[in-house]
Structure 1
């Protein structure tokens, strides 16, 4: 029986994270765009339904808890009283009320925000609203509150748009396991203690899942939208990516490895400022024409 469970887990992992070959063809009907306040996004993919949302969120909750527990045991989980934890949680409190416009289910998510003391220049938001920041991204980039909001908005947007769920469903379909998907996913996401060791490493898959260019574009724009509605300057997104580019030039590393940068990405954000700045200005009780220039805290070249 144990061998069968491990076989199911192995097949599930293969289905969820295998090489994509025909998933694009399966998803053709999901590519039409919809427009919300001028921001174009794809409809939520039907392929995501291959992965039951309740089980996905349960798995994410379990693995997030495990990650934070391990961080605490190692003495690297910052306590709630830490200024950076308080800062990020305050920013999240302003952003979270803006999320339902992109995914109504977000009103039912059990949101959490924690900070791990690590040099990693990264952050993530697991399905169901479980957010993690590494101190490396805060200190290496000297992020302002607006820039933290841009990072947080981006990560939350991946969860709102269900990108990981879509990718998992797409890869399940690609590998011809769609019919077995429910049973196999249950094999991973169940609470059977006999397989908790096997799925322990799955946390890294949530945090390190590589998204497509379309996913990243959506996360950038949707993330800046919800940040702007919360009263954070969307121009911080441009400053953020320029900081990351500068950091990478000084010491080439896999910065934000799941989120490739590039001038085209910045250009996308710049081309939407005519939509995002009025939203931000309204949140600040002014007009876009009266907004002062955005100022970061690091000289950018």
Structure 2
């Protein structure tokens, strides 16, 4: 257990700035807002939106093909995570998982309702996530979809626009042909609240740990994202997903429970798990274009 304890601490908090503030969700009103938009309707709109993103990116030659190693790596990680998502939302059984990787320097990833995952290649090429970090981040984004945070937020918008006559376009997708890689103000400006992030951290860690991704990677993951996106206070990843010292500490506090799930998934005991490098580097690749060794 000594190794796990030393790794759980993950050293002192990284010297990176954090989001100065975060929106608070509407709490008990969340379910009411979600119910304003039926899940099947939102899933259908999300599928249409995803298809438009794919078509638009392909039109301007900014979509990686299914044979690209980036796409293969993501698909394999999602295949590992998906079986553990249904316990959190029965509707997952009907989701048709798809992934698109858009050529862009932007550091961005999101999971649309219905299991449609969009990744901007800057996240993979610039941040250099190891496989555990990628799995943890995918679990986090999937958790946002499982808990229907987007549906709730759009329901809030709908409640404010009662009488308009129709539900607004899901994310206000821009024409990628006319404005390459523009995916609309609503998504770009959608900032999750503290409660949203806590839910996504808890559920995402459960999913990714059971799938065999080391939960200790969450600390190095978010520290890397903070370092890479701290300068962009409007659309930076850590401002869209508020990352504070308190959130970091909460992640560390939950590590013992998640380490037990991870150890079971990889056929070890917590005490025999190897040390996790504080930098997140030098991890053995477990998801590759040739397949998974899990």
State the TM-score bracket (shorter-chain normalisation): 0.7 to 0.9
Q: Which runs of 4+ in 1 moved over 6 A?
A: none
Tell me the distance in 1 between the aligned counterparts of 2:27 and 2:52.
37
Are 2:232 and 1:253 aligned? Answer: yes
Root-mean-square deviation (CA), in Å?
Answer: 2.6
Distance 1:246 1:283, change over 3 A: same
Per the alignment, residue 124 of structure 2 pairs with: 138
Structure-to-structure mapping, 1:198-217, within 5 angstroms: 205-206=186-187, 208-217=189-198
Per the alignment, residue 259 of structure 2 pairs with: 277
Per the alignment, residue 53 of structure 2 pairs with: 67
Tell me the distance in 1 between the aligned counterparts of 2:65 and 2:258.
34
Q: Which of these two proteins has the greater Rg computed from alpha carbons?
A: 1
TM-score, normalised relative to structure 1: 0.75
Structure 1 unaligned spans of 5+: 1-22, 31-43, 190-200
Structure-to-structure mapping, 1:182-201, within 5 angstroms: 184-185=166-167, 188=169
Structure 2 unaligned spans of 5+: 1-23, 171-181, 283-294
The 8 Å contact of residues 193 and 242 in structure 2, kept in 1 or not, is answered as no
The 8 Å contact of residues 193 and 241 in structure 2, kept in 1 or not, is answered as no
Tell me the distance in 2 between the aligned counterparts of 1:132 and 1:108.
19
Per the alignment, residue 174 of structure 2 pairs with: none
Indicate the structure whose relative CO is greater, using CA pairs within 8 Å and at least 6 residues apart.
2
Deviation at 1:169, TM superposition (A): 1.7
Residue in structure 2 matching 1:297, options 263, 281, 284 = 281
The 8 Å contact of residues 89 and 113 in structure 1, kept in 2 or not, is answered as yes
More helix by share: 1
TM-score, normalised relative to structure 2: 0.76
Structure-to-structure mapping, 1:26-65, within 5 angstroms: 29=28, 45-65=31-51
